[in-house]
Amino acid sequence: MKNLILFSFLFFTSFNLFSQDEVDSVPFSSGTIYLNGSSGFNLFLSDDLPKLLQVGMGYFVADNFMLGANFQYVDFGQGSDSSLELEARYYVISNLFGGLSYQLDDRKIFSFALGYNIFLSKTVSLEPVFEYPFSDFSDPTLGIRISAFF
């Protein structure tokens, strides 16, 4: 399991460091609207692989600083769960970001996220994200989202 986490981190880091040539075209300025979504792409670092649907929206209130919300639905096969979370994200270096989120369900889980935007065009990107929840109820996740910036 540790080898999978290490391999995934090294793969995404080495791949992403060389994926961008132009930093000026990154749309993380104040007033930008952010949309994201993923379906079935997240790899939960546990034995079961549930089906996942996630959609989100954010707004850059300042350069490199975004506030947003995500809705997530997970089907475990023997049951399902949905949650709404609030998110704050800051772009540290170029396309690399760190973020904090808070789930507004019964468990009230804080999570830390680290991710990177790989731009396919000036407004659309793939977004590998590692998320670590500060809770016994959830496992760390490694996923890929599709994002759009307007």
- CATH number for the domain including 80? 2.40.160.20
Q: What does the pLDDT look like over 80-114, one tens digit per residue?
A: 888 899 999 999 988 999 999 999 887 788 999 99
Euclidean distance between CA atoms 1 and 143, whole angstroms: 16
Q: What does the pLDDT look like over 130-140, one tens digit per residue?
A: 999 898 777 78
In the chain, the number of structural domains is 1
Range of the domain at 77: 2-149
pTM: 0.73
Residues 37 and 146: beta-carbon distance below 8 Å? yes
Dihedral angle of Cα 21, 14, 60, 44, to the nearest 10 degrees:
150
